[in-house]
Amino acid sequence: MVKNRASTVAALLESSGLDAVVFLYLPNIRYLCGFTGTDGVLVATDQSDCFLTDSRYTTQAQAQVAADEIREYKLKLDGLVAWLQENRCCRVGFEAEHVPVATLEKLKEKSGPQIKWVALGKEVESLRSIKDEEEIAALERATLLNEEALNEVLPLLRPGITEQEFALELEIALRRRGGEEKAFDFIVASGERGAMPHGIASDKIIKSGELVTIDFGVRLAGYHSDETVTLAVGEPSSRLQEIFHIVLEAHDRAMAAVQPGVSFRDLDSQARDYICTKGYGDYFGHGLGHGVGLEVHEFPNASPRSEETVREGMVFTIEPGIYVPETGGVRIEDMVLVTAKGCRPLTRIPKTYRALPLSI
Ligand code: ZN
Ligand code: ZN
């Protein structure tokens, strides 16, 4: 297991009185032992750990996985249960969020009454929420790609181009710079479509006088960027411009309130309360933000229902929005790194009001 991450697993084994803990969720497996493939299982006791995978990945695992043993299986669950039995494990923890009921039933059936399966929570997700220097550097490289790629394709954002065409150009620009894969299907929502918080780029033609919300990101070295800009093409209505400035202020207020010890619920309300006082509370239906790392949406969540607290080293998004049916919408999203006293944005694209064309 990756050195500084093994101690948390050891603590988990001890505090839960477990003989072993099993990891079946790929982002957590990657985090703990470095495996980047698409199938395998990691199991750890206080004595040793083992990564099990199938023949497609044995060579890759030998090259990249930090584990005492790498073992090949023909059938994953059989291989796992055999290892647990060989190591005389009786109480075995598993990540309840990531193991389907059917898989658990099969594990119980194969292991018999000798093994007691103990449901665990989001311990690894909590650990993953605090980024180390290497992870922060990877996230910054991904956000740099966002800036460079958007700058390259911005001259194409003109009346007449479709949302899909623009999204494709943006994706190509990201991939050409070394991006492994788009982080998600890009949202390019222009005009009235801006009222859809998740308006995936469509064949709609972008027109003058519209706001265009562009939510995009890329994966690089396993880590993601996630950023939203809302840009004006020509001169949108004064109401849309007003909405833009309300969202920007809400975004700035939330960002200014970030510091270790603040609850995510309070952070969310910094933006939400401001939007409410401006009369748009009913039009901000989603949470303020989410963690970003090996997954584009990961622990923790910032929302009115959030129970978590902001901690130094966390990276999460701040992305308030207002979406008015039949009118349009605005979202502004940045990724921030929590520092000792506040936060530092990792995303680089300016979020102030910008009307295109910036120059003829
Ligand atoms: Zn986003
Ligand atoms: Zn996001």
Contacts of 145 (CB under 8 A, 6+ apart): 174, 177, 178, 179, 218, 220, 225
pLDDT of residue 6: 86
- Please tell me the number of the ligand nearest to residue 316's CA: 2
* pLDDT tens-digit readout, 255-295: 999 999 999 999 999 999 999 999 999 999 999 999 999 99
Give residue 312 CA to ligand 1 midpoint distance, Å. Answer: 22
Superfamily of domain 6-125: Creatinase/prolidase N-terminal domain (3.40.350.10)
Cα-flanking dihedrals φ and ψ of residue 155, to 5°? -60, -20
pLDDT of residue 7: 85
pLDDT at 359 over 80: no
Give residue 334 CA to ligand 2 midpoint distance, Å. Answer: 8
CB neighbour class for 133 (10 Å; exposed up to 12, middle 13-18, buried from 19): exposed
Q: Which of 162, 178, 154 is nearest to 229 (CA)?
A: 154
- Please tell me the number of the ligand nearest to residue 296's CA: 2
pLDDT of residue 300: 97
Give residue 47 CA to ligand 1 midpoint distance, Å. Answer: 42
pLDDT at 2 over 90: no
- Please tell me the number of the ligand nearest to residue 184's CA: 1
pLDDT at 360 over 60: no
pLDDT of residue 358: 59
End-to-end distance of the chain based on CA atoms, in angstroms? 55
Equal CATH topology for 6-125 and 133-356? no
Give residue 292 CA to ligand 2 midpoint distance, Å. Answer: 8
- Calpha distance 294→296 (Å, rounded): 7
Give residue 341 CA to ligand 1 midpoint distance, Å. Answer: 25
Name the CA radius of gyration of the chain, rounded.
23
* Ranges of each domain in the chain: 6-125, 133-356
Strands 227-233 and 355-356: parallel
pLDDT at 351 over 60: yes
pTM of the full structure = 0.95
Q: Where residue 8 falls among pLDDT bands split at 50, 70, 90?
A: confident
The domain made up of 133-356 has a fold known as Creatine Amidinohydrolase (3.90.230)
Give residue 319 CA to ligand 2 midpoint distance, Å. Answer: 7
